[in-house]
Structure 1
């Protein structure tokens, strides 16, 4: 039987967050927080979170401030930024995880944006593992030509025009994903259209990063068919971290008999939800087996 999640409110009163806690079934081997991707609500991860809990990994999902279940008031009034989500909200969720699981190892799983806060956090010794999935320093020219028209419209045409007019990104009406606070969209746009990614925000909305930390071990994972954050962008991100702590893991959908894993579908519903085959084998590889192709020493690049 799948675990029934418990609704968990946390965070400061000025920017409250709402999470779902999936308690581990049987003997708990770890507790994990799942930092979601930009524009992906926590309900999307419910099948994956329940699957992990059934395997002894208590899992906390949540929505960032002014998004999904954490939205309070009209989204056009939100002052939230991408930095708020990647730093303050992720930090609040990690502290809440430690409260929910006061003993035992803690894991961090960051999906896309969820993995971009790693260098901005200080992790206690109990955090024994960090996994990122589809997290990379993506520039708009990294995308394959087949995906580029959508990207250019999102960053240079429909996205900025609609956000300027409405006061938020009306992603649902435009067919470009979820609605987002304007500050999140504008900062996201700046990062993905500059070769230095978030460097211009360091010392402003972002604290100084610590790319040289040696703990916890860091696994940067990506599907080989990810066109949103292509493997080259993940490798560029991986190269900033100390090589001794870092593994770059590639997931080929063909390994699991799948046509695609891509950027978002990877953590979508698997066999446990009765909605398809194969995802659970990839999940098992991601969290438990660790048999995906590994590049143990990605090239270090200039920062």
Structure 2
């Protein structure tokens, strides 16, 4: 028996996204449903165990694939016109509305992983978000990176992506263990947004002409790990400064405190790290 219901999410521009709805498994329903917004190149399947667990805690949960990724890729990858701006302006708004319609509620809690928690400032229906929990959320600014990622990112952004755009027509991230291969404009914008502080703020006035960052006043909490090479303290602060009127909070997790050798950028949602999930769930309370 499947633990989820497959949903089709229709975006304003007619694009169809693949989603999975996990109905609460207790009689005690929480006030707000949870929208799980994925990281760059990460599919909804990655979050299945975590979403199932949330449903046992009394939450209705919706996960989905961004356009151009996983089950939301229609046709050859090198023909995909998806972009990160599309994700924020079209995909997240449609997922919010789909979840609200499904649950007959007024607001969602946006639980975003990495890029999934970095885009609210360009989401037109941001008023429908009661709270943001950004797991490993930051701007990913290259100068704020640590370790091997600090060395790899410039090579990926400045050499691999531009060459692959010409030779392959997409961003070859799968070969270097960074999720699904990316539509060419997703790869291009990722490189552009991370090259300067502020991430998507760098698109304002270029490909984005509606900026909601200063209008957002819902609480925003970032949970990140001390060994995360992307969401470093510097890059987390860089993200939160973009929301001057929101009540923001930073929560640093240390692997040793949870008996783990590593947490990094990706492991919080893994079954191996399930002892972290209650820490994340506590932040869903309003």
TM-score of the aligned structures, taking structure 1 as reference length: 0.85
Q: Report how far residue 210 of structure 1 moved.
A: 2.6
Task: Map 1:61-76; keep pairs closer than 5 Å.
Answer: 61-76=63-78
The separation in 1 between residues aligned to 2:264 and 2:177, in whole angstroms, is 18
Higher helix share: 2
The separation in 2 between residues aligned to 1:214 and 1:198, in whole angstroms, is 15
Q: Report how far residue 289 of structure 1 moved.
A: 6.3
Higher alpha-carbon deviation: 162-171 or 212-221: 212-221
1:79-115 Cα shifts (integer Å, max 9, x gaps): 1111001221011101111011103762111111111
Match of 1:281 in 2: 275
Change (3 A) 1:144 1:244: closer
Match of 1:16 in 2: 16
TM-score of the aligned structures, taking structure 2 as reference length: 0.90
Match of 1:36 in 2: 38
Q: Report how far residue 145 of structure 1 moved.
A: 3.8
Match of 2:168 in 1: 166
- SS of the residue aligned with 1:132? strand
Task: Map 1:1-303; keep pairs closer than 5 Å.
Answer: 4-12=3-11, 14-26=14-26, 27-29=28-30, 30-103=32-105, 106-121=108-123, 122-124=125-127, 127-173=129-175, 175-195=177-197, 197-213=199-215, 215-242=217-244, 245-268=247-270, 270=271, 276=272, 279-288=273-282
Count, aligned residues: 281
Check whether the contact 2:121–2:216 (CA below 8 A) recurs between aligned residues: no
Q: Report how far residue 205 of structure 1 moved.
A: 2.2
The separation in 1 between residues aligned to 2:283 and 2:115, in whole angstroms, is 24
1:39-79 Cα shifts (integer Å, max 9, x gaps): 11110000000010010011100001121011110010111
The separation in 1 between residues aligned to 2:141 and 2:115, in whole angstroms, is 14
- SS of the residue aligned with 2:111? strand
Q: Report how far residue 284 of structure 1 moved.
A: 0.6
Change (3 A) 1:244 1:78: closer
1:203-259 Cα shifts (integer Å, max 9, x gaps): 332233233335322112211111122221011111222365111221222221111
Change (3 A) 1:160 1:214: closer
Gaps of 5+ in 1: 271-275, 291-303
**Dislocated runs of 4+, deviation >6 Å:** none
Gaps of 5+ in 2: none
